[in-house]
Homo-oligomer: A and B are copies of this chain.
């Protein structure tokens, strides 16, 4: 493994002393972020880490974040032994954090929920777009269900559901509303789950099913969908069907998105609300 020390003394600007520090950037909350990229000998790393924390302590820094790509797994033990805790991990990296001050730490909580979407799509013949999945709880059961999938981090709910429908069935569809959502717990280990039921309008009708995850896909008459025993037994499925009927009758208002701007960073985000009931907002904030 090559040894490549990539020190930074950018924090030390007065020229009176030269301390080799880990390369770091300041965050917006008085802390520093170290993104390790190059392999390094653990002992050389430890020396830099100790010097860096000492320097940051003097400077009144608060949280110290260290991101270690999985290739640098040999440095994890060193970081933990200096008092860091795990914060979060993704397949290719581990993020650790250390709180320098004696005050209560204000380290942000880790992500706690996975977010899923389900799509209700009806054509003009009151047929619903449904699939049979190759894996999961309904594998091999012959149950027809609405297309579902997971929202990626950084992805809008209204975008994710369009993507999932296209991927699974080849159908182009437009997002209309969130009709309802379910919160469930312990969906994997201790993490929770939010599932958004979305109303969509089909823009194409020829199904091209995806082979990897989908056993079959078709348009099914609503009555035939509802006649499946599982729809009557399973609370969530029953609710989805009732929402579908209410939409067909035209008397159900869900939440639709409004693009709003943050004063802090000019970032746009979507605010989902019952826009039928607050039309004033719809006109002033629509993107």
Interface size on A, residues (CB 8 A): 87
A183-B269, A264-B137, A272-B180 as given contacts; A89 in contact with B92, CB under 8 Å? no
Closest 5 CB pairs of A and B: A235-B260, A180-B273, A112-B153, A86-B89, A89-B89
Q: A87-B89, A106-B135, A271-B180 are in contact. Are A236 and B260 (CB under 8 A)?
A: yes
B90→A110 contact, CB < 8 A: yes
| Interface stretch of the complex, out of A3-11, A12-20, A52-60, A278-286 | A278-286
Give the Cβ gap from A245 to chain B, nearest Cβ, in Å: 8
Within the complex, what minimum Cβ distance (angstroms) separates A90 from chain B?
A: 6
> Could you write out 30 A-B pairs with CB less than 8 Å apart?
A70-B86, A76-B77, A86-B90, A86-B91, A88-B189, A94-B94, A109-B114, A109-B152, A110-B111, A112-B151, A113-B114, A113-B115, A115-B192, A153-B191, A154-B192, A179-B274, A180-B272, A182-B270, A184-B267, A185-B267, A233-B263, A234-B263, A235-B271, A235-B285, A236-B271, A238-B260, A239-B271, A239-B281, A246-B277, A252-B277
**CA separation between A239 and B262, bound complex, in Å?**
12
Chain A stretch 107-122: residues in CB contact (< 8 A) with chain B: 108-115
Name the B residues within 8 Å of A238 (CB-CB): 260, 285
A interface: dominant SS: mixed
* Interface pair A234/B258, CB less than 8 Å apart: no
Report if A190 contacts B (CB, 8 A). Answer: yes
